[in-house]
Every structure is written in structure tokens, then in C-alpha cells.
Amino acid sequence: MGKSKNIERKINDVLNMFYGTDLKSASAIEVYNAVSKAVLGEKYEDKRRSDEVYFKGKVTYYFSIEFLMGRALGNNLINLALNDEVKKVLNGVDLKLEDVEEVELDAAFGNGGLGRLAACFLDSAATQNMPVMGYGIKYEEGLFKQEFKNGFQVEEGDNWNSVGEPWQIKVEKDQVEVKFSDLTVNAVPYDMYIMGYGTRNVNVLRLWESKALKKFDFNMFNEGCFDESMKGKVKGEHISRVLYPNDSREEGRILRIRQEYFFVSASLKDIIKRYIKYHGNDLKEFSKYVAIQLNDTHPVVAIPELIRILVDERNMDMDTSIAIAKETFAYTNHTIMAEALEKWECYLYGKLLPRIYQIIEVLNNKLVMELREKEVPEADINIMRIIQNGIIHMASLALYGGHAVNGVAKLHTKILKEDTLRPWYGAYPEKFQNKTNGISPRRWLKLCNEELAELITSQLHSESWLRDLSLLSELKPALIEEDFIKSFLTIKDKKKQQLAKYIYENEGVTINPKSMFIIQVKRIHEYKRQLLNALLVLDIYFKLKENPQIDATPMTFIFGGKAAPGYFRAKGIIKFINDIANLINNDEDVKGKLSLVFVKNYNVSYGERLFPAADLSVQISTAGKEASGTGNMKFMLNGTPTVGTFDGANIEIVEEAGEENNFIFGARVEELRSIAASYNPQNYYYNVEGLKRVIDTLIDGTFNDENTGMYREIYNSLLYGCDWQRPDVYFVLKDFEDYRRVINESKSVYQDKFKWGTMCVSNLIASSKFSSDRTVIEYCRDIWGVEPAQV
């Protein structure tokens, strides 16, 4: 029986068993679930064999509050080389694979770069046969589904599993109890198989769902207290209900603490159970077989929890338990902004997790003693304490309780050493490493840009580059071949047409596919400076209105991203951008010359359409504020030049591809540090041509924020400062003129198609450094101490 016939039989078996139908009669949702289950069934035995190979040796467990996985079907078909076979089966019953793939919703286990990085790492670890297992939370709802109403962001529930969960396997036998002072819940594991490309290895992401021990109080219900009878169930199951509950109120902070402890406690119990199965009851060699990576500060409570288990449940002494924890844990820092490092009130920990708080106090005291023995200045010790003024500093707990800390780009790590974590670097320089982020070339090129992937493969006569991105360097001779550049540009035009069609269907906005697509998609935050981009768009609009005869390159600016529900100013920036879009897109004077669209509910699947279609990648964070970024790498891999500041991984992108193939602008870190105390944005407001006009639209009636005060607050934050911050803390006004200059420069170059195509291909070829395969191999070698183990 041929491969496609075998797949067809398995799909029909699933349809018959679960839905009482077959391929010819099934609905799209039924076909999606059946194809997924049939593909998953192909890997059961490989998963079992992978477990046997992995768990006999050392394994890394990747703890992350987010895993932004994206759709699974298309990625898994590519990794298992089943794409053509499934297409053939579906074509036989007049179905298209792409239509079936569209049924799948993005699993809402993540929000931004943190979760997407974690997903890429799991894909790379499986592809490189590395023994890495992920642990997180199976959220019932994601962060939120984003809609716009009169330009305002509106948050709705994100019921991502409404079409089924075929990629998740419930493992009832491995459920464990997690105890708080006032509540005990069951943690029920669901496994997602992570299938490597070109290998039989199968890694696992285990996600925990919280279930109440007592679901229903029969006696209370019988007495008519219907709501009260369900209170225990509701309270217990809130823990895995929503990603990042709003923590502006104490109830939200309590729920976040519960979430973090819930998943790390369950995961550690699971790891210890597995350790005992393969290595026996003596946990003194725990770190010989177990490495745990803490992805940011959210899972850092795992450190005192492991110590608690070893001391209270395994009868080890405190000092030995602490030593084991230090050898086991490592911590990835994702921010240079001290205010973004997670902190919790001591009284909340004392109330919810009293034993954990006792252990944190022990760790704090030991840290202080150790620092004094090192003769660290008392002023630095006070900065480094885990407990300060009734607050637990989770980054300090991670730095003391683990053996390694890494930044995620060269500049980021440098700033950590010299500024954010300076005292720590002085006391423990051996703990610090850099691991520049990366992305999966399977999803971010092969899956989302099949045409470009085929062009590369035809040029290299092999798909080996999908496992070893350094092979892209062999494309260098193609830079001088006009046919290759033309083929690349033809593909880019096709992706732009596809995106324009998709945006019209989903946003109701018509954009010119022949215009220059300038795209900024990422979480909405002031330091990422979507506001700077919006002000420039408005400036371009006013100039076109003044001189409609300008022979200008048509431009389409595309924004996407969510603002946290409690982030008032970021939500004001979204409203401002949508108001600008409404002004521009309804003005016949600029039709075909300038357009702006803010795509709603930006996620992985939307990104798969945006990255291949971009002409210019907008990465304009204030220098020194962006840790790394991975969106910049996704654009680069698809052959898109960067317009950006000298920040995060932008620096390394320029190092690899050359500044001549990108557009770098703006003040650099050293300059901003030197002028911070004396900086007066009003000097730019009054003296930079056109700047006052666009900023004044926030308050002069051009736009209406419906009496929310959003626009006035943005205006004040730029010129006068608010919330105890100095004015224009992210230097939007200072960098405006230079940003305008570099956008104009990019427009001029864009008109020379061959030169532009050469710049694009140069970026594509130079992107090999930014494979997450390379990053994961470095973690395995330098931090985790694990070796590949192939089925």
C-alpha cells in the first residue's frame, strides 16, 4: 500500500470512528480533526522510543509561562514530509489542504516574543535530536481576542479550542496535586508532540490544566445555593483559565502567583517521578540528569519549590538541597528594564505559600552572608537582596538560585552586565552568558513562504538548508545573477498580492499591492515606538495634501499587535493609529499613494502572511530598550531589509548583512545615556519641521478620543512627562527627523528594483545566524550540558 493510500485509510478510520462519516461527506472541521489525529497516530511509537533514549541520560526541561505555538497541522506535515501525500488524498475528494489548514485556530498558550521563542526552541530541539521537554499551562482562554470599536481596542474571550484539540493527548495517570494554603487542585497533563524535521525523534510539550478536587457541593445545591455549590470548582479552575490575568488589582496578582506556582510545582513533581523511574530514589545526583531553564522570571518560584520538595518530602538537609537547585536551574533574562523584572509582595507569598516564603527568607539570608564574605559593598548588597522592603525580587532569586543567566542579544547582555544587573555581574561574573535568539526556518520560511523555499532549494539542489541554515551562504553567487533577483522579486510581489487580498477580506481595507509595504507588528508598548511610526505617517499625509503632485513612491504602512488590557497609554496609541488610518484611507487625494491599516488580532498565523510580504521591516525601539526581538529575524529570513535603531538583535543583523543593506537611524545607547538628564523634547517640538503639527493633532480636534483623556495623556507624556516620568522618556521627538530621513532614503532605493532585490537577497543569505537551531545547540553545549540522542 502506497504512503498516500495508507494516510487516506487512517483518515477515513478516524472519521468513521469519531464522526460516523468518510472523507467524501465530512465537514471541514471533521476533516481537520481526522487528518490531525491520523498524522499524530504516525508518531506514537517514535514518541515512546524517544522517551527511552532521552530519559536514560540528561534532559533539559524548559519552563515557560507562554508557548506561542501557532497552528500545528501545516508545520507537522512539513516536518514529517507528509505534505504532498495529504494534499493528494484531499485533492482526490475535491478538498484543498490550505482550506483544511484554515480551520485550525492558533492555540492561545502565548502572546508575544517570549512564547514564540519557546515554541521555536522546542521545534529546534526536536530537529537537532536534543533531549528537551517543555512545561507550561493549558489555558482555556488566551490573552484575549482583539477587536476594534470606533478605533478602540476591545478585548473578547479567545476560545481557541472551539474546533477541537486533536494535537493534545490527555495523560490522566500523570496528574498530581498542587497545594496552596487555602486550596488544593489537581494538575492534569496534556501532551503535545513536537515533531522534528528530518528525524524520527519526538519531543513533548506538557501543559497543565487545573481541576478542582471537589467540583460540586451536592448538599448546598440541594438547599438552593446553586452558585455557592460551584464555588470550589470555579476557584480551582480559574488557575488555568486565562493567560496573564490583569494584575492591577490584588485579586489578579494572587491569581498570577497561583498560576506560576501551579505549573512549576506540578512540573517538578512530574520530573522527580520520571527521575526515580530511570535513575532510582537517590536524588543527590539530580542535577547530573536534570537541567531546568527558567524562561524569564515567571517560573522562578520553581527554585524554592524544588528545595521544599527535597527538604520536606525527600528528607535532605537545606544546604544540600540548595546546592542541587543551583546546579539544576538556569535563567534567561528578557528585559533590561528593571521595572519589568517581576516582583511580588511578601505578604501575598506568606499568605498563599507560607513554606515557600520561609525558604525564600533562608535564601535571602544565605545570599547576604555570601556577598559579605565576597566583600561586596553594602550598597550593592542592598540592591541584590531577594527581599527588599517587603517585596520579593524574582530576578534576584533566579540569579542566586541558579548557575547561569543569559541575555538574548549581544547588546542586551552587555547592558545587563554594565547596568541592569551590574552588582550581580561584579559578584558572579562566571554566571553570565549571551545566547542571541533565533527562529525556526521550517515555520518562518518553508511553511509561510513555500515559493521562496522552493527557489532556495532549486538553487542549492537540496533541502538540507532547513536543518543547517548556514548553507544559505552557498547562495552568494546568486547575488550577481539577474534571474535569481527577478525570481525573488516575483515571489515578493505574489506574497504582497496574497496579503492585500487577505487584508481586504479580514479588515475591509483596500491596499495597493504595488505600493511599498512598511510593516511594524509586535506587542504595543511605548518603548517599541509605534507612536514614532504613526507620527511619521501623519507627516507624510500632510505633505501629500499640501502638494498632491508629488511624484512619491506609493506606501502602505501596516501595524499589528495587542496592548495589555490595563495599559491605558498603549491603548491610546492604538486608537490614534486607527484614527489616522480612517483619515488617510477615506481621502481621495491620497488614494493609491498612501494607506495605513492596523490588522486586528495579530497572531502567529497572521504573521505567516505578513513576514513574506514585507518590503521594509520596522524595528524602531529606543536604543537600549529592546532585549533582542525575533520579528526582525523573521522579516530578514524572508528577504526584507530592516529600518531600525541600533538596538537588540538589529545590531547583529547589521553585522551579518551589512549596514549598506539596511537602514539604521537614531540615537545610540551611549548618546541617550549622556543626554538623559538634560534632554528637553520641546526643543525638537518647536524646531523640527512638521513635528509640532503632527503632535498637536492629539489635542487640536483633528482626532477624537471620545473624552477618555487618552490623547491628552500621550501629548503630556511627550512634552511634559507624567506618572513621575520625565517627558518623552523614549526619545520619540529626538529620533523623529532621522526616522523621516531614513524612510525617504529607503523609498529612493526602492525605486531601483534590482538594487532593492540585491539588498533583500543579501539579508536572506545573511540570516543563517538567526536560526533557533544554532541557539539551542549553544544552550545545550554551554548551559545545559546535554547531548543529542537520536532514535
For the annotated catalytic residues, the residue numbers are 334, 522-523, 528, 630, 634
* Cell numbers for 40: 499524530
What SS3 class is residue 105?
A: coil
> What is the rounded distance in angstroms from the CA atom of residue 293 to the CA atom of residue 291?
7
Q: How far apart are CA 17 and CA 353, in angstroms?
A: 46
Secondary structure in 3-state letters for 609-674: HHHHHCCEEEECCCCCCCCCCCHHHHHHHCCCCEEECCCCCHHHHHHHHCHHHCEECCCCHHHHHH
Measure the CA–CA gap between 147 and 115, rounded to whole angstroms.
22
Residue 372 amino acid letter: R
Task: Give the Cα-Cα-Cα angle 360, 363, 365 (nearest 5 degrees).
Answer: 110
DSSP letter, residue 340: G
Per the listing, cell 535563567 goes with 331
CA-to-CA separations, 197 to 124, 555, 773, in angstroms, rounded: 9, 38, 11
Ramachandran angles phi, psi of 521, nearest 5°: -130, 120
If you count them, how many residues does the chain have? Answer: 791
Burial class (CB in 10 A: 0-12, 13-18, 19+), 388: middle
Furthest-apart CA pair in the chain: how many Å?
Answer: 82
Q: Is the dihedral of CA 711, 714, 719, 725 positive or negative?
A: positive
Work out the number of other CB atoms within 10 angstroms of the CB of residue 339.
6
The position carrying cell 535568539 is 437
Output the CA torsion sign for 627, 628, 629, 630.
negative
Q: Are 517 and 556 in contact (CB under 8 A)?
A: yes
Question: If you count DSSP H runs as helices and E runs as strands, how many of each does the chain have, helices first?
Answer: 35, 21
Q: Which candidate, 306, 188, 292, places its Cα nearest to that of 240?
A: 188
Among the listed residues 562, 567, 536, 541, the one whose alpha carbon sits nearest the alpha carbon of residue 552: 541
Which residue in 491, 476, 477 sits closest to 445, CA to CA? Answer: 491
Q: Name, in order, each residue with C-beta under 8 angstroms of 372's C-beta and a sequence gap of 6 or more.
A: 381
Chain centroid to CA 450: how far?
Answer: 23
